[in-house]
Amino acid sequence: MLVKEQSKALFNAAKNLIPGGVNSPVRAFKAVGGDPLFIKSAQGPYLYDEDGNKFIELINSWGPMLLGHGNIAIENAVIEAIKKSPSFGAPTRKEVEMAELIVAMVPSIEMVRMVNSGTEATMSAIRLARGYTGLDKIIKFEGCYHGHGDSFLIAAGSGVATMGTPDSPGVTKGTANDTLTVAYNDLPAVEHTISENKDKIAAIIVEPVVGNMGCVLPASGFLEGLRTLCDQHGIVLIFDEVMTGFRLSKGGAQEVFGVMPDLTTLGKIIGGGLPVGAYGGRKEIMSHVSPAGPIYQAGTLSGNPIAMHAGVAMLRQLSEQPDIYTHLENISAQIEKGFRANLKAIGQHYTINRIGSMISLFFTENEVSDFASAKTSDTERFGRYFNAMMECGVYVAPSQFETLFVSTAIDEKIADEIVAANRKALDMVC
């Protein structure tokens, strides 16, 4: 039985000071029961909590720690930056280096603007699309989560689904009216929505691979169909690659699937673990951003030197070491194969979705291709599974509607330990 005395005491104190005791809702463990663990440190593939418990890490800060915790190149870059001052509020050389790397690595990006979070990136991209087209409405997909901007909290996934508040109070009816939602992977529904709102739609925003209702892959022809529809109707296509950017490949999901968006939003990995975001795309569109153009967006800490140093150190490693993605694929495939063997051994037919180093085990026998099918999962059983995995020394996402992220710090031996823990946890809950 895990010792949680320190975590419990800290959570009780936090609840009097922080709404719900946490600074992001999914961390509260409401979907899985019990109190959250308070983390003290991490190194490589391991996480350590305030009570001294040790876990194999499969969240990796919700994606950014692609190279595991304590990467020496990133640590050294951060130390170098701190010595020169944490912030200037003025341009720096590292901002240029970061932009050069992003433009070189992401196929569709010709210009890029740095911001401070994925949410800020998606909000800014939507404003840019509206300003560029002169139109108001956007299309998003049920279960796709693009941050907590007002335009996106309509039929959202991730923590919103976990908390049972898909339409958050505080979002105005006017904002909601300008956000049109359709089912992910349903191309005919997109076509119908466009025809019903002719010459009113500024943008379609989509996670090319969904990570916020669990890992859900695009159906064959879906992304290509979105590209064609946007070209036909003068709509800006936005890929939210905050999760998939630099995780699925050096060029993200757009490189994997060969579909080029007009705008791309980035975050997580590009900061090497520090708060960061970015949006970029065709020069024709990005040149409308202030001060080059009339569409305003600003940020005191945008291009923060510490985040830029960390991000450049991260992206250089990904650019110069192509075997990183081979390793991630091999280890993730090993984990998936082990999970499937475990399910077969105990006679269960749950669903596993994986692409590269993103993987989800859904507690449903249905194929999961959209939010409706993801919601057929037995979330109560998932909660028991989550706690069983913790007891077995593996830290997975505390929500059925989140993907797992594999890091390069996991080797074949540790992957075998994860598979063994999965078998034991399944035996405990099935």
pLDDT digits (tens, 9 = 90+) for 164-217: 334 567 777 777 788 999 999 999 999 999 999 999 999 999 999 999 999 999
Could you read off the pLDDT of 32-72 as tens digits, one per residue?
988 999 999 999 999 999 999 999 999 999 999 999 999 99
Residue 255 pLDDT more than 90?
Answer: yes
Token digits for 334? 């090993």
**In this model, does residue 87 exceed pLDDT 50?**
yes
Fold (topology level) of 72-320: Aspartate Aminotransferase; domain 2 (3.40.640)
Average pLDDT of 341-349?
A: 97
pLDDT of residue 1: 80
DSSP designation for 355:
E
Average pLDDT in the 231-256 region? 98
At 41, which amino acid appears? S
* Model pLDDT, residue 58: 98
> Which of 46, 132, 145, 385 is an active site residue?
145
Count each helix (H run) and each strand (E run) in the chain, helices first. 15, 14
Q: Does the global pTM surpass 0.85?
A: yes
- Rounded to an integer, the average pLDDT of 406-419 is 98
424 is catalytic: no
Q: Where are the domains of the chain?
A: 5-70+322-429, 72-320
Predicted confidence at residue 155, as pLDDT, reads: 58
Q: Which H or E element spans position 345?
A: helix 323-345
Residue 354 DSSP code:
E
Structure tokens at 209: 């691979």
Rounded to whole angstroms, the Cα distance separating 64 from 275 reads 10
Among residues 356, 339, 100, which one has the least CA distance to residue 208? 356
Mean pLDDT of 119-123: 95
Q: Among 268, 325, 350, 370, which one carries the catalytic annotation?
A: 268
Read off the pLDDT of each residue in 317-343 and give the average, rounded to a whole number.
97
Helix axes 412-429, 379-391, angle to 10 degrees: 130
Contact 179, 205 (CB under 8 A): no
DSSP codes joined into one string, 250-312: TTHHHHHHT---SEEEEEGGGGTTSS-EEEEE-HHHHTTBTTTSSB----TTTT-HHHHHHHH
158 confidence band (pLDDT: 50, 70, 90) = very low
Q: What are phi and psi of 121, to 5 degrees?
A: -65, -45
Name the average pLDDT for the chain: 94
Nearest Cα to Cα of residue 161 among 370, 390, 388, 396: 370
**Confidence bin at 162 (pLDDT 50/70/90):** very low
Mean pLDDT for the stretch of residues 98-111: 98
Please report the pLDDT score of residue 93 as a whole number. 97
Number of residues that make up the chain: 430
Instruction: Tell me whether strands 351-355 and 358-362 are parallel, antiparallel or unpaired.
Output: antiparallel
DSSP class per residue in 54-89:
EEEESSTTTTT-TT-BT-HHHHHHHHHHHHH-S--S
Looking at residue 147, its pLDDT comes to 84
Q: What is the C-alpha separation between 79 and 8, in angstroms, rounded? A: 33
Look up residue 210 and give its two tokens.
Answer: 């969904």
pLDDT at 161 over 50: no
pLDDT at 402: 94
Q: Known catalytic residue: 240?
A: yes
Mean pLDDT confidence for 398-425: 97
Instruction: Judge if 5-70+322-429 and 72-320 fold alike in CATH terms.
Output: no
Residue 378 pLDDT greater than 60, yes or no: yes
Residue type, 248: L
pLDDT given at position 163: 38
Give the least confident one: 22-31, 247-256, 257-266, 298-307. 22-31
* Catalytic pick among 49, 240, 262, 370: 240
pLDDT of residue 176: 75
Q: State the fold for domain 5-70+322-429.
A: Aspartate Aminotransferase, domain 1 (3.90.1150)
Q: Is 35 an active-site residue?
A: no
CA diameter of the chain = 61
Helix, strand, coil shares, percent, the chain, to 5 = 45, 15, 40
Distance from C-alpha of 1 to C-alpha of 32, rounded to nearest angstrom: 17
- Which pLDDT score is estimated for 197? 95
Q: CA-to-CA distance for 192 and 182, rounded, in angstroms?
A: 10
* pLDDT of 160 over the 60 cut: no
CB of 11 within 8 A of CB of 38?
Answer: yes
Q: How far apart are the first and last CA of the chain?
A: 19
Whether 138 contacts 177, CB under 8 Å: no
How confident is the model over 77-97, as a mean pLDDT?
96
